[in-house]
Amino acid sequence: MKKVYLFRGGNVLKSFDTDTVFDVNAIVSHVLFTVLFDEVRYVHTVAELQSVERAAKGKADIVLGHVQVLGLPEHRALMETAFVYGVKYQFVLTTGGPVLTNMGVEDISSLTAGLWFLHCKGAPQSQHSDPCPHTALRRALTTLHIYTFLQLMEAPLVSEASVEPSEVNMVHSHLQVPLLFLFSQPHTVALDRVTAQTLAWRLRGQVGLVLIHRESPDVKIPLEYNAAYRLPGEGSEVKYLILNNLEEVIDLFRDESTPEEEEDDDNWATLDVLDDEVAESVYRDRGQSLDMDAVTELTADTFHSAVAESDYTVVLFYVKWDAVSMAFMQSYIEVSESLEDADVSDVELAVLDCGEWTDVCSAQKISSFPTVRLYCPQEPSQPYQGMLGTESLNRFIMLSRLVSPVLLSSPDEVTSFLEGDLYQRHAAVAPVTVLGLFSSTADAGLSVFKEAAKALRGETMVGLFADRQAEIWAVEYSVTLPAILVSRGPTCQTEAHSLNLSMPDQLVTHIRSALLDTFPELTVENLPLYLELKKKLLLLFVGDEESGRKGNKRVLEDMRSLLNTGLPNPYLPCWIHLGRTPAGKAVLEAYLGFLPLLPALVVSQLATGGEVFHYPTGRPLMVQPILQWLQRVEDGEEPPAGVIVDEKWMPSMPFYDFLSVMDQEVPGYASQRSAKTKTSRIERAEGEKEKSSGGGERQARAGAHNPQGSPTTKPPQTPHHSEL
């Protein structure tokens, strides 16, 4: 098969030769180029470009891109930009020839990719024959550079200010572009504006220009200086100059850009990986190859046979361009190697690339990446929902090999199961075990419990004792059957909970809640489980110093005893060991603004306002003083030591807020669907009112939003590019 087909619904939109879609960049660029076929004009000659310019004059600016070959990263960057900005600008693509000569390129063969912004929107329509003025992008053709360039094209040609240059804050500073300041005199302000605009056109896209009015009392610049500039970078100083003509300014920035070019490229290289830590780590390690010999690489032909032949087959569904998938791949390989070292022969670890074998992933209903599932012959697959790490996945696999529930037939087996002796090999990976107690095998709720136990397979060990002798444990732990016993090991007290056996999923939730510790050690892995309780955290931070171990043990025992001395219900006592969980140090510093002496006790009210209270350092960490302090916190007598602000999870840089950019171009296109649903109902209701009252009200409302009386444009009825 030498063709790749792009479908829209059941129809073939376009076919590609396999040698044209040779990597991810080629696939993305060709697909977007096909989808945007009616919006991105492809020109070969100067006459074709001039025709596009004439049609765009007075209506829209043009973004002209040049790539030597379709499917390269530069082509992808241009198509991705067109997808976002296609409503705002007219995008044009060329692959060279006379069009480049028309744009002023002297050596066509040396230009592999380029981009120009044609300022046609402000050009008068009466001058049909004159070309639109243009500005060239003088950077590599990447998505980030194009986005930055378009932001600069939208910025004012010349800005005016009446403050010191050091106090001027413009978009150019955030986009790593120098600022040039010209100082205006009251009697020459008109001439100064002309000079500034002339300079701004020649430096557009490279330098931001600001005209500073000297007559302002806030401007205290010595009269001998007529210009200044500030290079990009945090803490960069303003340098003052005496310039005699415009060419000196042009030469200044040409000279300044040369020595800074290497450093500037480094800055942009850093911006290119400003993503989450996972994506950055994959980018840094992109040159390292993974040893895939430890896992089996499946295809559409081998998937079903591999799953059927092995007792347990763990499959990682991934795509190569997903950073999380590739970061997790190393951990996945390590798990395979550790199982081999432990002589675990009945488990086969395999991987399947969903970017290549889409039919298999579609049949398995894989909708997110990476996804891990465990397959056993003649049984439904078991999804893995733990952390994407070696230890958590290894625990899941080891526990999934056990029958769930484990059927126990005697009181001795029950005791052995609860104390961890029956499955001693698995005690390390499942320190908490659950035992279901039923009075007989004919109990109506037994089937519900078995379904819940299957759902919990891989999370913990679940046992089942269905016999009249179960009454002995029910009496001992003061519960009515059916019930569950939760054992945290022979040194801890066994907990008992009566069951409400209505539905399997409700029982699973009940058992998971019972598995939570009453005085947990918080870790990165279990923190979300305890935050879901929506309780105030009475959180103890302890260190790992050798001399402090005995003191830590005493403090932890006192904290645990709080559970039996009337601790208010809204509080969850818990602790963090900074040696085992180093992230706790950053949490403590964020809470208080400094690192106090350890052990440190704080109250964190994340669910009720974010206030943090710090137990006085010199006061003994004992039960009664802690209870008295908590009472003062409840009564509002203790001042908070800090407040945790509920910040939004935003992109690390404005450049990466693509949804916001798309919403600016087509309002509502990338907004949350729930919000759109709500507003659409309101709009429909308003629409019904408008229909009954005629168009006058609608026209009046449009005028209120458009006081200048300029023509209003009806918003599109369907989202832009809805076919994707």
Q: What's the rounded mean pLDDT across residues 7-16?
A: 77
Backbone conformation region of residue 436, classed left if phi is above 0, alpha if psi is from -120 to 50, else beta: beta
Q: How confident is the model at residue 648 (pLDDT cuts 50, 70, 90)?
A: low
Q: What class has domain 527-643?
A: alpha beta
| 3-state secondary structure string across 486-546 | EECCCCCCCEEEECCCCCHHHHHHHHHHHHCCCCCECCCCCHHHHHCCCCEEEEEEECCCH
Are 206 and 214 in contact by the 8 Å Cβ rule? The answer is: no
Is residue 710's pLDDT more than 60? no
Q: Coil, strand, or helix at residue 104? A: coil
Q: What would the pLDDT profile of 474-495 be if each residue is shown by its tens digit? A: 888 888 888 888 888 777 788 8
CB burial class (10 A; 0-12, 13-18, 19+) of residue 79? buried
At residue 712, the pLDDT reads: 35
Lowest mean pLDDT among 255-269, 384-398, 520-534, 626-640: 255-269
Q: Which CATH superfamily is domain 402-515 in?
A: Glutaredoxin (3.40.30.10)
* CATH number 3.40.30.10 is the correct assignment for the domain at 284-399: yes
Q: What would the pLDDT profile of 158-169 be if each residue is shown by its tens digit? A: 888 888 888 888
Long-range contacts of 72-76 (CB under 8 A, 24+ apart): 72/25, 72/26, 72/29, 72/113, 73/25, 73/142, 74/112, 74/113, 74/141, 74/142, 75/25, 75/29, 75/33, 76/25, 76/26, 76/28, 76/29, 76/32, 76/143
At residue 684, the pLDDT reads: 42
Q: How far is CA 251 from CA 181, 210, 534, in A?
A: 16, 18, 62
- The secondary structure of 39-83 as a DSSP string is TEEE--SHHHHHHHHHHHTTT--EEEEEESSTTSHHHHHHHHHHH
Q: What is the DSSP letter of 228?
A: E
Q: How confident is the model at residue 642 (pLDDT cuts 50, 70, 90)?
A: confident
At residue 313, the pLDDT reads: 94
The rounded distance, in Å, linking the Cα atoms of 422 and 443 is 25
**H-type alpha helices, 518-619:** 527-531, 549-561, 583-592
Query: Quick one: which of 565, 567, 556, 614 has its CA closest to 589?
Result: 614
Q: What's the rounded mean pLDDT across residues 1-14?
A: 75
Are 627 and 637 in contact by the 8 Å Cβ rule? The answer is: no
Q: How confident is the model at residue 347 (pLDDT cuts 50, 70, 90)?
A: very high
The alpha carbon dihedral of 686, 690, 693, 695 has a sign of: positive
At residue 283, the pLDDT reads: 60
At residue 423, the pLDDT reads: 63
Domain with CATH 3.40.30.10 in the chain: 3-152, 156-272, 284-399, 402-515, 527-643
600-604: strand order across its sheet: 571-577, 536-542, 600-604, 611-614, 642-643
Average pLDDT, the chain: 79
> For domain 3-152, which architecture applies?
3-Layer(aba) Sandwich (3.40)
Are 206 and 138 in contact by the 8 Å Cβ rule? The answer is: yes
Q: What's the rounded mean pLDDT across residues 13-40?
A: 82
Is residue 694's pLDDT more than 50? no
Query: Quick one: which of 422, 518, 411 has its CA closest to 466?
Result: 411
Lowest mean pLDDT among 30-44, 566-580, 698-712: 698-712
The rounded distance, in Å, linking the Cα atoms of 257 and 263 is 10
Phi and psi torsions of 280, nearest 5°: -65, -45
Q: Which CATH superfamily is domain 156-272 in?
A: Glutaredoxin (3.40.30.10)
Are 184 and 192 in contact by the 8 Å Cβ rule? The answer is: yes
| Range among 507-521, 644-658, 663-677 rated most confident | 507-521
Number of other residues whose CB lies within 10 A of the CB of residue 527? 17
Higher-pLDDT residue of 61 and 680 is 61
Q: What would the pLDDT profile of 209-247 be if each residue is shown by its tens digit? A: 899 888 888 888 888 888 888 888 766 788 888 887 778
At residue 288, the pLDDT reads: 65
Q: Coil, strand, or helix at residue 272? A: helix
